[in-house]
Structure 1
Amino acid sequence: MRLSRVRVHNYRNIHGLDLELGQVSVVVGENRTGKTNLINAIRLVLDPAMPYAERKLTSDDFWDGLRKGDPTYEPMKALETISITLQFADFQNDGRIAAVLFQGLVTTTPVRAEMTYVWAPDPTKGNKYRDGVYFGSNGSGKRVGPDLREEIFVAFLHALRDVEGDIRSWRKSPLKSLLEGASEALDPQQLEQIRANLESANSTLQSMSPIQQISTDLESELLGSVGRRQSLGATLRSTPPEPLGLVRAMQLYIDGDRARRLSAASLGGQNILYFALLQMGFRAQILQKVVSHTLLLVEEPEAHLHPHMQRAVLENLTPRDGQTSMVVTTHSPHVASAVDARHLIRLKSGLTGSTGFSARSAALSSREWDDMNRYLNATQAEMVFADKVLLVEGYAEEVLLPAFAAILNIDLDKEGISVCAIHGTHFESYLKFCDALGIPWALLTDGDLDAQSVSAGQARVTRFSANNYGGASPASLGMFVGDDTLELDLYATGANGSIVDSVLVELGSSNTGSRVGAWNGKPSKSSLISEVVVAGGKGRFAQRLASELVEVPGYVKASLDYLLASK
């Protein structure tokens, strides 16, 4: 089984969100785009452990756009409704969960079932608001009881989770299901013998004068305070008296035989331990048939983890069977790079509330998806977090563009613009990927003139436009082409030639100066590129030139202006 779709209506900053989900969904987006609200929406439908106070919604939980600028508008007085619908797929071969979900069947080809949470006025009770979860998509089906929802175990990890506190709390601890399962498999006679031995040790400890004195003094204090009738009979014990209590009383320690308390571990170490316990608990509950499916909802799994551990933990949590689904929110490129790019979902805020974009909607071939997964390493995965993306050919552009932006008084970070080099001219799949995630983009490519002065770059962007955008003008789409190569275009712009000459002489060989001088300010493409290679290559040349105050080529400035105007 898997959670295949979520629709949210009028909930907080989400007005009308409709997202297709996979077995794994990794949700990215800037702050205040609705990532936490999406997690909470799913919990409202499925999580019977969600506190009543959080389930009882108020006017503040309605989408602000309903007020249409009127601060006096009260959504609940206007009888507005909040609804959240979850759709499930691939459950027909699991008898237990199918018996539950078939009551909410909405389509048979393919098989899909839905549950809907509704916060709405009840006409039979004077329009008093009440919540409920119902089968079907419109809230008019049979009400779903908590016992049925418990077939799907929901594990929610808040971004500000208290790992140590949760592990030590019997009610919240992921150890609970593991220890309960273990206690059922223990030999009762062995357990009783262990209890007797521990009770003997406990009695010896209690009889020691300093310990005994504490108990005596405490009882005297209570008698003097509230009298014998209200005295609590407090005692000091190191072990509980009943056999099963011994198992529940077990605590987790670290560092092997040193048995240090969990608080001695780093916050990152505590998170790693917590995730490992969760995985063990999920497997145990499925094997013991306590539940039919587990749904893991995690906010920011990267908290306190080293980049390598972020990737390792997420890869370990990623479901590899049909009995677990996972929805993760993250701000970490390392987490985003650890999953198949098709699992990425991006939320974006706007005047009509948060909107969602799914990478899986990109029309890419299997080979293109493989390329995209290799590309989105931890460095390039910044693309999916950017508000806008400038796609460039290679490392030289990636180095120089931030310098050019600074010369133009453009702060790329404040504008949310990421410069991403694709290391080639195969832009088309990246454009499709950005379009699928709703990321505004522009691209820069060399003109690459041939011997007949025909621009291969212009032909390139014209083809992209014809294939994907109905043949619109490339510049109107955000595609900007240089006159030839970046190095030549830079040299030919304003007074940049003398600056480029001096950089080449500084980085080049002992003969560079004479060769550069022979140009008389008009190098050929081959001679300029030859000197760039001698100077250490395009990357080294770009690194050094980025320190100089050059005039920015017109097509580069046009690409940045285009992105600044994009929404």
Structure 2
Amino acid sequence: MYLRQLDITNFRGIKRLSIHFKPNMVLIGENAWGQSSLLSALSLVLNGSDRLYQFVEQDLHFSPQDTQDTQDTQDTQDTQDITLLFCFCEQKQREYRDKHALYRHLLIPHQDGLQRLYLRVSSEKQGDNLTTSYTFLNELGEVVADKNNQKIVQYLIKHYPVYRFRDARLNQAKMAYLPLSWQGDESLKHEFMAVGRLLQYYFLDRQHTADYDVDPTLLWEQLNSLCLRLRQDRSKYIQKQFIQFLSTLFLPQPKNPQAIRPIILFEDLGAHLHPRMVSIVWELSQYLPIQRITTTNSVELISQVNLPDVCRLVRYSDRTVAYRLRHGDMSKEDLRRLTFHIRHNRSLALFSKMWILVEGETEVWVLSELAKLLDINLSAEGIRIVEFAQAGLKPLIKYAKAMGIEWYVLTDGDEAGHKYANVVRELVDELTDSVSNRLTTLPRPDIEHFFYTEGFADVFIKLAHWQDHPHQPRPMRKIIQRAIQRTSKPDLAIALSNEMEKQGVSSIPLLFKRLFSKVLNLSRTQ
């Protein structure tokens, strides 16, 4: 059984959130968008002990309107009640048919053949008192009365504990149990001990690490060696030994380590590690057949994660939404192309709130320069310009919509550009959106021809070193081609930008001013 879903209402920084977990999930999102609140909900309730967590005043969610005076005190009271609904699910059909009689009667059948178990942890504020209750629900969402209720809750908490690694520190109470020796296979001793010592080195309180006599470089090499051995371990013997070793790190003398199904939380993984070390840690974690949830702002780490494993949290005024790719959202070929285009080459785009999708490199440079002239800080606004020619426009828009990333498309005015515009029309839901809110099509074949006809012909003539001939018209297409050949696309963009700066902001074509206005409005919805 594993933790499949968690629904949160009015807990700390989260007003409402429903999130589906996977065996390996990576969470991304801006600061104050709810990642820490989500991990706190998990680690406080599933704390691995006999102690049932009791909500305190600081756990209540307060939005700005909650602080305003209101005549309806009951409505204010309702908004303050905390509810955490945990859904555990079987990993295979009839997984608990012959065991765990303690809570077998609480398992609820599902149409997919995998039984569920629903645990609700809720609070109720009565005057100055905040009470916490742990209850199980049936298929109708009704409370199941059971005399062994607390015993069952404690069993779940102890068998599905959450271990939270955060801020380059680990809870010292857990670190106190790190073994100083390995009693198993002697050939694995050095690599396994390297794991323990690196945990000590990187996750102990900083004031103690100065006194820890260890050479981290040597330990990282031993960790890399362990990854190589695990990679070649067809029988999974080393993997089983490694899991046994790790169980002693988290649980001092566990009575039945095989029955424990921990959930590991890596918070801000990669924040304090070199990219090479991040790669080693991430590969090593892939050999752990346990549920893992990772939060990160590391471009290096994201570049190694499968796109379907990435979950993006977005906070709106009334809720927080967990966006991720779902089965069937994209074809295998589209996912392959998108993975190469975004994950390997443009991982930073995954952290953006807004994509401006353009056909090629020239548009990237020109729009970047225009934003500067208009005093728009694209990075600060969370806006990323992404060229779509290699990956295809449709997969990028589909992915942006699946991940809650706002998007806008700029296309050329040629035949290919009109085909791209039709893709936008196909993917826009006219009931809730409009094509004009998502698309700008240039009135010229491409962006170079557009600027040439918008009063910037002299820039191209100068870059092309063009010499006029008496009584002959200037061949626009030839001049543009020669200008591109004699310089580079970045230099062309800078030359156009310099000319617009010289002439003043009023010289920037109205088409692009309107484009950026729409883009900013879309990006600020989050």
Scaled to the shorter chain, the TM-score interval is 0.7 to 0.9
- Choose 263-272 or 469-478, whichever is displaced more: 263-272
Q: How many residues align?
A: 469
Contact 1:106 1:113 in 2 (8 A): yes
Contact 1:14 1:355 in 2 (8 A): no
Contact 2:279 2:301 in 1 (8 A): yes
AA of the residue aligned to 2:5: R
Contact 1:45 1:86 in 2 (8 A): no
Distance 1:411-1:59 versus aligned 2 partners, 3 A rule = same
2:287 maps to 1:324: no
When the two chains are superposed, the root-mean-square deviation of aligned CA atoms in Å is 4.3
2:446 corresponding residue in structure 1? 485
AA of the residue aligned to 1:109: Q
AA of the residue aligned to 1:39: L
Distance 1:284-1:557 versus aligned 2 partners, 3 A rule = same
2:426 corresponding residue in structure 1? 466
Which secondary structure does the structure 2 equivalent of 1:150 belong to? helix
Distance 1:316-1:183 versus aligned 2 partners, 3 A rule = closer
Shift of 1:482: 1.2
Which whole-Å deviations, capped at 9, do the CAs of 1:242-275 have from their partners, x for residues lacking one?
xxxxx9xx97899xxxxx964665799899979x
Distance 1:400 1:441 in 2: 18
1:113 corresponding residue in structure 2? 116
AA of the residue aligned to 1:60: Q
The two structures have a TM-score, normalised by structure 1, of 0.70
The two structures have a TM-score, normalised by structure 2, of 0.75
Distance 1:272 1:535 in 2: 52
1:151 corresponding residue in structure 2? 159
1:476 corresponding residue in structure 2? 436
Shift of 1:131: 4.1
What pairs up with 1:311-350 in 2 under 5 angstroms?
311-318=279-286, 323-350=289-316
Contact 2:163 2:262 in 1 (8 A): yes
Which secondary structure does the structure 1 equivalent of 2:143 belong to? coil
* Residue of 501, 504, 511 corresponding to 1:555: 511
Contact 1:333 1:379 in 2 (8 A): no
Which secondary structure does the structure 2 equivalent of 1:493 belong to? helix
What pairs up with 1:431-442 in 2 under 5 angstroms?
431-442=397-408
* Residue of 371, 390, 404 corresponding to 2:356: 390
What pairs up with 1:75-114 in 2 under 5 angstroms?
80-92=80-92, 94-95=95-96, 99=100, 102-110=104-112, 111-114=114-117
Distance 1:264 1:414 in 2: 41
2:9 corresponding residue in structure 1? 9
Distance 2:273 2:64 in 1: 40
Which whole-Å deviations, capped at 9, do the CAs of 1:147-166 have from their partners, x for residues lacking one?
333222422111x2326xx6
Distance 1:319-1:45 versus aligned 2 partners, 3 A rule = farther
Which secondary structure does the structure 2 equivalent of 1:355 belong to? strand
Shift of 1:31: 0.7
Distance 1:491-1:424 versus aligned 2 partners, 3 A rule = farther
AA of the residue aligned to 2:301: V
Contact 2:365 2:489 in 1 (8 A): no
Which secondary structure does the structure 2 equivalent of 1:92 belong to? coil
Distance 2:340 2:76 in 1: 49
Which secondary structure does the structure 1 equivalent of 2:262 belong to? strand
Distance 1:530-1:10 versus aligned 2 partners, 3 A rule = same
Which secondary structure does the structure 2 equivalent of 1:39 belong to? helix
Distance 1:184-1:330 versus aligned 2 partners, 3 A rule = closer
2:18 maps to 1:18: yes
Distance 1:425 1:373 in 2: 9
* Residue of 493, 499, 524 corresponding to 2:476: 524
Which whole-Å deviations, capped at 9, do the CAs of 1:13-72 have from their partners, x for residues lacking one?
2222112222221111111000111111222342225987xx332233222249644268
Distance 1:535-1:104 versus aligned 2 partners, 3 A rule = farther
Identity of aligned residues (%): 19
Whichever of the two has the greater Rg, that structure is 1
Contact 2:29 2:313 in 1 (8 A): yes
2:127 maps to 1:161: no
Distance 1:519 1:262 in 2: 84
Contact 1:343 1:360 in 2 (8 A): no
Distance 1:97 1:14 in 2: 39
Distance 1:351 1:185 in 2: 55
Shift of 1:319: 5.6
Distance 1:104 1:314 in 2: 36
2:375 corresponding residue in structure 1? 409
Q: Which runs of 5+ in 2 are unaligned?
A: 187-192, 202-209, 228-238, 249-255, 502-506
AA of the residue aligned to 2:111: T
Shift of 1:330: 1.4
Distance 1:297 1:2 in 2: 14
Q: Which runs of 5+ in 1 are unaligned?
A: 187-246, 255-259, 449-454, 506-512
Distance 2:14 2:471 in 1: 62
1:501 corresponding residue in structure 2? 461
Distance 1:79 1:443 in 2: 40
Contact 1:152 1:295 in 2 (8 A): yes
What pairs up with 1:291-310 in 2 under 5 angstroms?
291-310=259-278
Contact 2:437 2:518 in 1 (8 A): no
Shift of 1:97: 11
Distance 1:356 1:336 in 2: 17
Distance 1:529 1:377 in 2: 34
